[in-house]
Amino acid sequence: MFKKVSLRIRIFLSMTLLVLLASILILVVTIYQYDEQTKDYNIHRFERKEQTTIETINIELNNKTSYPVNTKNLSKIFQERIYEISAINKLNITIFDLHGNLLVSSKINAFEPIDIEPLNYDVLNELAQNSNHRILKTRAEKGLGFQSSYTYINDPKFKRIGILELQFTQDNSEIEEELEEFIKRLSLVYILMFMIAITLAYFLSSYITRSIKTISERMQQTRLNERNEKIMLDTASSEIEILVEAYNNMIDQLEQSAAKLAKSEREQAWREMAKQVAHEIKNPLTPMRLTVQSFERKFNANDKDIKKKLAEYSKTLIQQIDVMSSIASAFSDFAKMPSQKKEKIDVIKVVRLAVDIFTESYISYQPKEKELFANLDKTQLIRIVTNLVKNAVQAIDNQENPVISVDVYSENSNVIIKVSDNGKGISDDVKDLIFEPKFTTKTSGMGLGLAMIKNIIEAYDGSISFNSNIGIGTVFTVILPKE
């Protein structure tokens, strides 16, 4: 399917698709980059809060508390202080012992008691095996992002006395709204760019293919028997210039070949015509020669029937001379192109005159219209009809129930003449030769009739065609313009 699309459409679609894919790719990369930057920002923000909180807790353990720094006293040391640290850093702080049991948490208050489960074994094991003794967990739930870190709490002598959980809650709804608004604006920009790209692609594809279209139109107009103009382009790419130069060279070669072909065809036509004329003239010359020889051999001035025999000899010679005269007339009519004589005639009446020449009772003429006027040559039209009817009469020779029908009617701006018969038909192997000069399926005649009327019809920008079936009959159809 795509192979049948024109080059201009291909270029246009390719450029448009390329811009569309590039826009989609840029949009996807932009969204991905925006999301990654947001995640990095949240992580770095959480790390800063985490670092500040850990430093505050270490200061509390090293300098401010009056309790002995150990696991049991962690709940006492941070019983009230944990809420202040949590509020300042905007983090949820939870302290567990080394076995994961809860000691104290900023999540618990007098108004909203919360059950906090002990740390599971996986978290304790992962924390113990981590080289930095710190693990980070992230999760999202109902539009909120949760980041939690787990580290050890050390006493002033760097002995582990507890586990610190810091949890940062990030409301992603605002970020998602910002991202959505950003995508909308970016989409509007891309739509505008896409429309501009379509416009540029259309004009650019038209510009690229304009020269090719010119060459294509000229090539379609190229005719062998006409003078073809060369292509002259003011501005064109090097590839187009090579194509134009090749076309112009082809035109030069075509003109030379056409001239040689025309000369060869003329010479061949004259040779064939000379052969045909010589052949047709030889046919009556032979009986004329035999007649003269017989007359010379049998002539006897004292024969009482000499006048009768002389009349018979003369009649034979005159008949053969008439045949030679008809041969000359036929070739003369064929060689002479019909003149473009046009006069307003009633086709219905003229065709009737042509049909009335024949006396056969099986010839019927029933026009579908009372009057049908056209600008044609009356004599030429009669010649066309009589020739077709004559061929039909010869085609139904020895037919039991012969039928020949002549129909005339108008169709749009044309005159349609149909001559049909129920004769023997035309075989497929000779259908292509029917309108060729010298071709005939009859034992007599020169085969110029159909070729001659075809020339007449085509001289009036008309056409002739036929449909034939063996044993059923033949229908010849002539189409002539009214004007």
Residues 190-213 have pLDDT tens digits of 788 888 888 887 777 777 667 666
**In the predicted model, what is the mean pLDDT of residues 348-377?**
87
pLDDT band of residue 479 (cuts 50, 70, 90) is: very high
CATH topology of domain 343-481: Heat Shock Protein 90 (3.30.565)
Give the chain's mean pLDDT. Answer: 77
pLDDT at 475 exceeding the cut of 60: yes
What is the pLDDT at residue 380? 84
Yes or no: say if 338 and 451 are a contact pair by the CB < 8 Å rule. no
**In the predicted model, what is the mean pLDDT of residues 424-451?**
64
Which tens digits make up the pLDDT trace of 41-69? 778 888 888 888 888 888 888 887 788 88
Distance of CA 259 to the CA centre of its chain: 37
Residues contacting 88, CB < 8 A, separation 6+: 56
Q: Which two tokens stand for residue 74?
A: 């962690």
What is the pLDDT at residue 405? 92
Distance CA 150, CA 124 (A): 9
Please give the full DSSP string across 249-300, using - where no structure is assigned: HHHHHHHHHHHHHHHHHHHHHHHHHHHHHHHHHHHHHHHHHHHHHHHHHH--
CATH number of 2-178: 3.30.450.20
Amino acid at 282: K
pLDDT at 449 exceeding the cut of 70: no
pLDDT band of residue 340 (cuts 50, 70, 90) is: low
Lowest mean pLDDT among 101-105, 330-334, 354-358, 449-453: 330-334
Q: Which two tokens stand for residue 272?
A: 């064939």
Q: Which two tokens stand for residue 343?
A: 């006069």
372 or 326: whose pLDDT is higher?
372
What is the pLDDT at residue 415? 92
Lowest mean pLDDT among 7-11, 33-37, 180-184, 194-198: 7-11
What is the pLDDT at residue 273? 63
Residue at token pair 């009556």:
284
pLDDT band of residue 382 (cuts 50, 70, 90) is: confident
pLDDT at 477 exceeding the cut of 90: yes
Domain ranges of the chain: 2-178, 238-335, 343-481
Yes or no: say if 427 and 470 are a contact pair by the CB < 8 Å rule. yes
**In the predicted model, what is the mean pLDDT of residues 344-349?**
90
CATH class of the domain comprising 238-335: mainly alpha
What is the pLDDT at residue 6? 67
Most confident option among 36-45, 135-144, 161-170, 431-440: 161-170
What is the share, in percent, of the chain residues with pLDDT greater than 90? 6
**In the predicted model, what is the mean pLDDT of residues 119-125?**
85
Residues contacting 84, CB < 8 A, separation 6+: none
What is the pLDDT at residue 19? 81
The number of helix segments (H) and strand segments (E) in the chain equals 10, 12
In degrees and rounded to multiples of 5, residue 199 shows phi and psi of -65, -45
What is the pLDDT at residue 445? 43
What is the share, in percent, of the chain residues with pLDDT greater than 70? 72
Distance CA 136, CA 35 (A): 19
What is the pLDDT at residue 206? 74
